[in-house]
Chains A and B, each alone.
Chain A
Amino acid sequence: MNDAGKLLLFVVAIAAGFVYICNVIPQVKSEPVVEETVVGATPEELVAAGRRIFMSDRAQCLTCHSLEEDPKARCPNQEGLGARASERKPGMDGAAYLVESVYNPNAYVVSGYPRDQMQPVNKAPIALSHDEILAVTAYLNSLGGETDADFVERLRQEQEPWRRGLLKAEEGTDEFKPPIFEGKLEQGFESFRALGCIECHRIGSEGRDIGPDLTKIGASQSADYILDSVLNPSSVIVRGYKPTNVIWKQENARDLLGTPVAWVPDKDHPSTLLISVLEGYETTEVEVDLADVACVGDTIVIVKRDNVVSRLCGDYVSGDAETGATLAFLENGVWAERQIPGGEIQAVRQALSPMPSNFSEIAAPREIYGIVAFLLAQQGEQ
């Protein structure tokens, strides 16, 4: 064989060796993306779907996480996560922690692991849908924890702001959250009465129905939520207890602020509003003919147009004074969403809870933490 032939054979041999080696090593092939359809909503179905998503190439969870002890894994071992999720981050229950961890991974990074390793999974390139994330968090909790209907409901609650686009990753990482300390139950029992909580809230057969019933609060809410509600009553106002403003057409008539009791004939096409107005610890029901009102709703927006300042009220939908706010206005007996441009808005005043907001000024920590402990113990067994 001449030299040219030998050279050709030599090159072919190198190429063949390359192909051979590449074929004898373990062969890994990824599959095209198939979005997991999260069928049904029972906890078992969610956990099963979540497991499939977690294991899939698309979600890439197992690229970094492990499901058993692996000292070389780039991200924490998820084995038994459900049992420790509620203790991982002070002031957060398991559902809140799991939801935050997948939407905003840098908000809390387990000690010894790098920041920025994980990206928000609702964003590209992973881009799981919110339903898929619900399933994954349900599955993660099932690793060492129990994913029941209540827990799924908690996941849904925690997911809601993310679904509505109200939260963005990295938000709130520097925000101060009061720590949860272990208060005394007996102290809480006393403080709940001494501070007047029992005047508005019901616990079992005791108390009144001005504020939400707290008989089972401990079964559905976390210490973090309760503490936040005591210190900042307006941060989350329970559905049905959100005050509504009534601004009359007639000038100089006093505005009304109260909790809607009924829209007549219905909420979509109301002509009359029955509103419960709080005076001291007493409530009075007032019937409002909506033909007489300029506007009605839980949010007041101060608007400046052509140097004229005016007030608008409607039900809050989204936005703020800077970017513009969208409100639902009652116009001619029908609700319609309208956006007010940011440039025209001077202030947006969302509904405030009628509950006093000065507990942090009048109560000592042991009283506040006592109330938290007392309310956490309210599991509806009385």
Chain B
Amino acid sequence: MNVAREVRTHLLSSLAKVGVLIGIAALFLVVVLPRLSTDYGLFPLVESRTVVWLLMQIHLMFAAFVLGVPIFAMIVEIVGAVSGDERYDRLAKEFARLLALAFTATAIFGVLGVAALVLLYPEFMTYLGSIFSPTYLPYAALIVGDAVLLVVYYYAWDAMQGRLKWIHIGIGALLNLGGTLLMFIANAWATFMMSPAGVTENGTLVSLWQAIDNPLWWPINIHRLIANVAFGGSIAAAYAAIRFLTTKSEKERAHYDWMGYVGNFVAMWALIPLPFAGYYLGREIYGYSAQMGTSLMGGAFSWLFIIQAVLIGALFITANYYMWLGLGRIPGGERYYRYVLSMEVLIFLSMAIWMTPHTLVASLAEARRMGGAFHPLLGIFGVMSAKNTVVNLVILTTFLSFVLYRRANLERAPSRPRGGMGAPVFVAMLSLFPILICGVNGFLGEGARAERRLPVLEMEARDLRARIQGSYDTVEAAVLATTEPMGVVLQQLEELSGKDGEVQRARETPGIQHAAGYRAITLIFVLFLTLAVLDMFVFGGRIGGLLQWAILAAAAAIVIFFGVLGYFVEAEVRIGYSVYQVMAVLFAMMVVTAIDLFLFFGARSLGAVKWGKMPARSQYALVLLATVFTLTIGLMGFVRSGIRDTWHVYGVVRDTSSQAYTPTMGDAATLITIATLVFFGLLFVIFRVGMRRGEVA
């Protein structure tokens, strides 16, 4: 009864807050906006864009937090329910406690952002409303629904243990589903501004669904979803780190050390696929508009991606460093110290290459000394071939760190016990995904079909040309010598031109240059998967260890081989090589994990992990991770918005305000940093209030 009353009380208060905030937003959109007649409003002292940028950036950081943390909490709760380890359940609840305040902060900044947009950009908001106003109501309804679910999720936590646990997890899943849908709707607005669809050339709506399902909607949905999980994990880890460093209690230190580890674990597993999601997003941006894609990577924002590389480099280096430090608290972890140095060198070198700019802005004198605009040595590392290669190697290395960490206190049983096949078989089956992609592209895809058709077409064109030429050396000589009427000759020439066109189109078919590569990689994958399956079901794990190294080596070899080959082929072909690299890394991660799960089933523990026995610098590493994550979110928000150049809606509604320029990296970084520090400050307040509400049991 007490729980029911508590839920009811908080529900009412939450609904009241949400109602007021939605009411204010609606007031601006429905009442104020139609009464404004100017194109752009003015804000005193500060540029209008800066105001909107700051408010929306902070809103997005909180939004990422309130979307990422519940996913994190749900994952942890499920782990607790499955493993029966109550620590996970307590950890999940501890984070759910922070959500209510963060949810309010998100909504407040969202409403402030809407008000600023309405008052400062009324014409643009009117246009956006003419397209998306039907989505406003579902958006508001989802906010209300999420507020209700959040209250029930947190306040009914203790009451819904035991038999009701999975229902509680179901509420968490609904909460996440609602949050994800909210994000998808907001993403539709943001991506419509980047890649408008469903409207005529002058912007009149033709199809709302097309406007929502615009070319960049899914790439951003996927990218943000994964990034939010990584962000949620990193903030959770940073919270744990702060508590670890400030507590005097050994017991609490052990708890927060463990919490930091779990947060970082989730963050890193989400970080690993993030470059792939980023690659997908980049490719779709390029596919939508080569012009936009080029501005993104090679134009005004090329330096931004160097800064991004610095930040991502810091993330990977720090995360690996944290894991290596973690080996120290695991009995048996010292067995793997010998790998750390080589992994460290590899990651540092890779990151150095990733950070190398493509074009160095050099003075004339410097350029003369260098012998051109590109440094003779470093210039080689500035191109995509090198960058794709090293980022894949870093991901492989980080994965290896995980594998070693997981094994740290385990010793394989002399003879693997029976059973435990579910997990390895499931993970091994996941590797069918890269096999399928490569197989389809190599054997059945458009490129593979064109590859088979090309020799036939070339032969037909050759025959036609020979027929026209007769005994002459060239078509021109034959045509000028013939006594046939021009019309007859033109027909022949048209036929030849058509055939040449077919040959040309076949040669230009997307994927034709890659069909052979995909086939080769498919065969390699199938070979390794077959060996892995044989090891599991026939050899009893005897070749498993060796096979894992062989797969990792093969993946690294594929990554390096195509990275180097990329220097010797045209850009069009080179772009496709990155897919081989990504597929090789994904495949290796899946199959190596499957083998590891198989091999270490029933392994003997060398001792319990000594939670809390971590040096303070490890906790600073966690704080650094969260800070860098947040800065990266701000930086990527800047470029996502910035590549629209001088358009509110790219190619449809031009930004005619005096602020329709792209600021310098320095100015952007200052603003991003202010947003980050404000976010951290508010987050600190939320943590403090959250801590007061109940300490760890």
Contacts and interface: CB of A to CB of B under 8 A. Distances in A.
Interface string A349-382: 0000000000111111111110000000000000
B389 interface: no
B652 A19 contact: no
B669 A58 contact: no
A125 interface: yes
Interface of B: 201, 242, 245-246, 289-292, 294-295, 298-300, 303, 306-307, 310-311, 358, 361, 373-374, 383, 476, 479-487, 489-490, 493-494, 497-498, 501, 508, 570-572, 616, 620, 623-624, 627-628, 631, 645-647, 650-652, 654, 656-670, 672-673, 676-677, 680
Interface in A44-96: 57-58, 60, 63-64, 70, 72, 74
Nearest to A184: B480
A245 B165 CA distance: 88
A55 to B, nearest CB: 14
Interface of A: 3-4, 7, 10-12, 14-16, 18-19, 21-23, 25-33, 57-58, 60, 63-64, 70, 72, 74, 112, 114-119, 123-127, 174, 176, 178-179, 181-183, 231, 359-369
A22 B665 contact: yes
B428 to A, nearest CB: 38
Contacts of B494: 176
A361 B300 contact: no
A30 B481 CA distance: 59
B interface secondary structure, majority: helix
A119 B303 contact: no
B650 A28 contact: no
Contacts of B508: 115
B490 A178 contact: yes
Contact of A360 (B246, B358, B486): B486
B624 A32 contact: no
Contacts of A361: 485-487
A123 B652 CA distance: 10
20 contacts: A3-B246, A10-B623, A12-B677, A18-B669, A22-B670, A26-B361, A29-B664, A30-B646, A64-B294, A115-B508, A118-B290, A124-B201, A176-B493, A176-B498, A364-B486, A365-B480, A365-B489, A366-B480, A367-B486, A369-B480
Contacts of A10: 620, 623-624
B664 to A, nearest CB: 4
Contacts of B660: 32-33
B291 A119 contact: yes
A126 B480 contact: no
B658 A32 contact: yes
Nearest to A178: B490
Contact of B627 (A11, A123, A179, A367): A11
A7 B673 CA distance: 16
9 smallest CB-CB distances across A and B, nearest first, come from A124-B651, A22-B669, A360-B487, A23-B666, A27-B664, A30-B662, A26-B361, A360-B486, A32-B660
A57 B657 CA distance: 17
A57 B307 CA distance: 22
A72 B570 CA distance: 10
Nearest to A14: B627
A11 B623 contact: yes
User: Which of B289, B294, B672: most chain A CB closer than 10 A?
Assistant: B294
User: Which of A58, A72, A366: most chain B CB closer than 10 A?
Assistant: A72
